[in-house]
Every structure is written in structure tokens, then in C-alpha cells.
Amino acid sequence: MIHNDHPRYESLKLREKIVDAYKKGILAESGMIAHGRGEAFDYLLGEKTTVNSEKAVRAAAAALILAKNPVISVNGNTVALVPNEIVILADDLDAKIEINLFHRTEKRVSIIEKVMNNAGAKNILGTDHEEKAKIKGLEGPRANSSREGVYIADVVLVPLEDGDRAEALLKLDKLLITIDLNPLSRTAKTATITIVDNIVRAIPNLIQAVHELSNVDDPTLHQIVNDFNNQENLDESLKKISDKHTGRVKP
């Protein structure tokens, strides 16, 4: 039991959720290691949403609203931390949700499907009882995508993705949005829009931005997407980390 006056309360609560998800079979062991890497970057960034992240969230919301066929791809970590919020975002955008796991087993897919259904998801794709299409450039189960989902999507939100799959999806001409606390990861560098923030803050922020931009006209939304420069945004995140720890700027 972690007391809420503990200075690392929020971070420790997330750890607890991750361990619990592992015990329930939602997460593979490596999912806990991936969380640890994210946690380290969150620590360096001050465990708060930065201005850069807000900019990326706005661009991501605009791209998702403009999308003809948006898909949110979920893995174990995402489902462990924000299942309800993913369902809200998908409903608001009329987007599909697709399960994609690095360490895919039938059992884990079925557990995740149940968690998402309990969270209110209506039609989960990427399960084992549907036809799949291969993503060019990938091997093994990771190459599979739902014919109705990622395969035909124009905009894909893939939080906590690995670099290979991000690169393969981008080659298919999809607009790729990721959420990744590590501004140096291959995925962060590959995506069209990278939100450098913890997924537990990024998804609620995205839901809010989608609401705020929902009545904005298409040319303005296109302008917001086009004005966003991912590399510049990542550079600013890195600068924030170094400035913060050399005491040059306030957090």
C-alpha cells in the first residue's frame, strides 16, 4: 500500500498497475522493462506535460480529426494503463481499436480483448478470429494487421511502438502518431508526430484537444498538422531535459 503523501506516489502507482497487469497476463515480462525505460525519461522530463508535448498533442488531434480511417493500435502497456481512455478517444473520433502485440500469444490477445470489452470497446480488431493482411517489411506475428484496421488506415496512433514496425507503417504512407517518453527512440524519430509524454497524461490531453478542435474547419486543421515539425519538437524535448538538469531554465 503506497501512501499518497509519498513524493513518488504517482510513479509508484503506475508501477503497481504495471506489475498487476503482468500478473493478470496482460503484459509480457519485457513490457515491464519497457515501462522502466519510459519511467526513467519521465523522471528526466519532470513527470509533467511539457509545452512541446502540448504542441504535438494539438497536431495529433488535428490529424486524427481529419483522418478518413483512423486506427488506434494498442499493446499490453497501453491496455494496462489507459484502457478506458482509449475507448473514449476511439468513440470521440469514430476510430477503430486494434490489438498489436510484440510478444503475441493467443492467451494474451484474448485477455486484452476482454479488458477492452469491459472498458466499453465495441469492436476490437487484431484478434485471432479475423482475417489478417501482412505489413510489408516485417516478419512473424508482428507483420499481421487487421484487414479492416491498420492495413487500410490513413492515420494510425501507435503508442509505445517499436522502431521496426513504425518504419514499416510509415513506408505504407500512413500518417503515424506515437506517444513515447524517449525522444531518442527510433519510433519517436520515425513517426510523423511524436508526443513525448507519459501515456497516462497524453491520452487524456488528446481527448481534450479533440474536443477543442472538433468545430475547427479543415484548412485550419491541415495548417496545424503542416506547421508541426517532429524533429524540431524532439530536439526541444531533449533540450528541456538537459537545461532542466544543468539548472538553466525553470521546469
Q: Which residues bind ligand ATP (CB under 6 A)?
A: 34-35, 37-38, 41, 77, 81, 160, 162-163, 179-182, 185-187, 198-199
Helix (H, G, I), strand (E, B) or coil at 66: helix
The smaller minimum CB distance to ligand ATP, of residues 53 and 221, is found at 53
Provide the terminal-to-terminal Cα distance of the chain, rounded to the nearest Å.
30
The smaller minimum CB distance to ligand ATP, of residues 152 and 238, is found at 238
Task: Specify which residues 133 forms β-bridges with.
Answer: 145
Q: Whole-number minimum distance, CB 185 to ligand ATP, in Å?
A: 4
Sheet holding 96-99, edge to edge: 124-125, 96-99, 70-74, 155-157, 175-179, 193-195
Q: The C-alpha cell of 223 is what?
A: 495548417
The smaller minimum CB distance to ligand ATP, of residues 126 and 159, is found at 159
The smaller minimum CB distance to ligand ATP, of residues 148 and 183, is found at 183
Q: Whole-number minimum distance, CB 43 to ligand ATP, in Å?
A: 11
The smaller minimum CB distance to ligand ATP, of residues 91 and 162, is found at 162
Across 88-213, where does the E strand assignment appear? 96-99, 124-125, 132-134, 144-146, 155-157, 175-179, 193-195
Q: Whole-number minimum distance, CB 188 to ligand ATP, in Å?
A: 7
Distances (CA, A) of 64 to 21, 146, 190: 28, 19, 18
The residue sitting closest to ligand ATP, measured at its beta carbon, is 38
Say if CB 161 and CB 122 are below 8 A apart: no
The smaller minimum CB distance to ligand ATP, of residues 77 and 145, is found at 77
Q: How crowded is residue 111: how many other Cβ atoms within 10 Å of its Cβ? A: 18
Q: Whole-number minimum distance, CB 41 to ligand ATP, in Å?
A: 5
Q: Whole-number minimum distance, CB 220 to ligand ATP, in Å?
A: 28
Please name which of 121, 55, 58 lies closest in space to residue 89, comparing C-alpha atoms.
121
The smaller minimum CB distance to ligand ATP, of residues 177 and 199, is found at 199
Please name which of 187, 231, 192, 185 lies closest in space to residue 41, comparing C-alpha atoms.
185
Secondary structure letter of residue 174 according to DSSP: -
Q: Whole-number minimum distance, CB 226 to ligand ATP, in Å?
A: 25
Q: Whole-number minimum distance, CB 187 to ligand ATP, in Å?
A: 3
